């Protein structure tokens, strides 16, 4: 492989972010006189992802026809391969009814500043039946207990479509200056490092020894030059560890346990969809856009609860992603854990014959939280002690229930 993988859908990244400061100032001035729409958190995150080049080649929000087509066939009406609708959905369009251009306000920043300006090409109202059908196809369920379905179904039924001009990256740049990176910046870093084959690792949690080993196993098997550990910095669910704590824990692990110049720690601004297989494909699209040649897809990738089978997110790439739709390949992984028999972290399916469940050091997230909250050390086979200390300090700082 002589060069990095090409972005999805075009030869170069073409994000709708307005990089020129004077032009940005001009647009903000224009926004003062435009009809305003306070968008939902997901629509704001979609704007950030488009502005960052992660959602290349999209230039704006999909209309209802494209959303239905993407939900049903994983492609837009014009034939672009895409796994989930990228939309601006709202419950109330009374303030923007006949507007041709509108200012989109950020719900996640105090004072709701303008995050983007949108040219309104169409406003379509979806029927209940269409909303249910899209939820079923994208999330595999219409259960409102599913956090992604609740977010999708709970914000309204008006699809406000059209191209956008992104004016800032919401709160991500200010709150995570060390970690938040655009797809363009990550491509530049990869090129500067001289890497050609690059493994991407998705995480919304701190990395334990199993994750560390998984990244190293994947790098070795695909003969990668480096890994991009790419963490989600957006909205999570209650009880998840805050991004700054995760960030510190992952940095410590890479600093102490990875060879120099083999891993980059970065983050992206998005809200978790918990859409399992479909979200895994979205993860693959935007990792290709940032220059990765491989994405690690493990058990229950991007899942929640018991909505998806353990390997559904791997199988979708074999069954439903058309050949040639993506240049990026996936590295299909199993659960990894420390084996007391071979005395190292291995993928469970590769355990020597005769391995039993109790031969692995395996702790649930609930157990880990309980131990750290009680001030108990995690087993060194499960977590690096320096990483565990950062997590323990965090849990010890929480008010006791």
Annotated active-site positions, please?
Answer: 204-205
Task: For residue 43, give the nearest of 133, 132, 129, 107 by alpha carbon.
Answer: 107
Residue 66 Cα distances to 61, 78, 169, angstroms: 10, 8, 25
Nearest to 229 by CA among 240, 218, 215, 246: 215
Q: What is the largest CA-CA distance in the chain?
A: 71
Backbone torsion region of residue 53, taken as left when φ is above 0, otherwise alpha when ψ lies between -120 and 50, otherwise beta:
left
Nearest to 369 by CA among 239, 207, 202: 239
Identify the three-state secondary structure at position 281.
Answer: helix
What does the CA dihedral 127, 304, 7, 327 come to, rounded to 10 degrees?
-110
Please tell me the distance from the alpha carbon of residue 327 to that of residue 95, in angstroms, as a whole number.
42
C-alpha span between 321 and 157 (Å, rounded): 28
For 201, list phi and psi in degrees, rounded to 5. Answer: -120, 120
Question: How far is residue 210 from each of residues 42, 48, 154, measured CA to CA in Å?
Answer: 31, 31, 36
Look-up: residue for tokens 């087509």? 69
Residue owning tokens 């978790």: 272
d(CA 343, CA 57): 46
Alpha-carbon gap, residue 326 to 338, rounded angstroms:
33
């Amino acid at each position: 492989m002589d060069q990095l993988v090409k972005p999805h859908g075009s030869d170069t990244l073409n994000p709708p972010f307005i990089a020129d400061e004077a032009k940005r100032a001009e647009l903000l001035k224009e926004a003062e006189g435009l009809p305003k729409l306070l968008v939902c958190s997901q629509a704001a995150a979609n704007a950030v992802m488009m502005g960052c080049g992660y959602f290349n080649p999209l230039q704006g929000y999909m209309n209802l026809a494209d959303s239905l087509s993407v939900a049903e066939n994983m492609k837009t009406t014009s034939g672009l391969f895409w796994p989930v609708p990228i939309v601006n959905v709202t419950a109330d369009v009374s303030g923007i009814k006949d507007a041709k251009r509108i200012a989109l306000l950020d719900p996640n920043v105090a004072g709701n500043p303008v995050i983007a300006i949108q040219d309104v090409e169409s406003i379509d109202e979806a029927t209940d039946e269409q909303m249910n059908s899209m939820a079923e196809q994208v999330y595999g369920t219409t259960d409102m207990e599913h956090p992604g379905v609740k977010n999708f179904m709970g914000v309204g039924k008006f699809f406000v479509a059209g191209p956008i001009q992104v004016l800032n990256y919401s709160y991500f740049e200010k709150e995570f200056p060390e970690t938040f990176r655009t797809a363009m910046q990550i491509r530049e870093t990869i090129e500067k490092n001289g890497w050609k084959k690059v493994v991407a690792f998705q995480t919304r949690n701190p990395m334990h020894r199993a994750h560390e080993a998984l990244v190293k196993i994947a790098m070795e098997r695909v003969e990668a030059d480096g890994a991009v550990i790419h963490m989600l910095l957006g909205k999570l669910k209650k009880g998840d560890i805050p991004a700054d704590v995760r960030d510190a824990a992952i940095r410590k692990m890479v600093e102490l346990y990875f060879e120099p110049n083999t891993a980059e720690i970065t983050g992206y601004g998005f809200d978790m969809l918990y859409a399992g297989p479909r979200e895994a494909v979205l993860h693959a699209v935007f990792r290709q856009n940032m220059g990765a040649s491989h994405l690690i897809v493990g058990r229950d990738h991007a899942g929640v609860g018991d909505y998806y089978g353990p390997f559904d997110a791997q199988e979708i790439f074999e069954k439903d992603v058309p050949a040639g739709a993506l240049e990026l390949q996936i590295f299909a992984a199993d659960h990894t854990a420390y084996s007391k028999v071979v005395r190292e972290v291995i993928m469970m399916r590769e355990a020597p014959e005769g391995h039993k469940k109790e031969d692995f050091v395996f702790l649930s997230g609930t157990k880990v939280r309980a131990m750290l909250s009680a001030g108990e050390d995690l087993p060194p086979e499960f977590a690096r002690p320096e990483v565990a200390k950062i997590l323990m300090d965090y849990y010890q700082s929480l008010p006791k229930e």
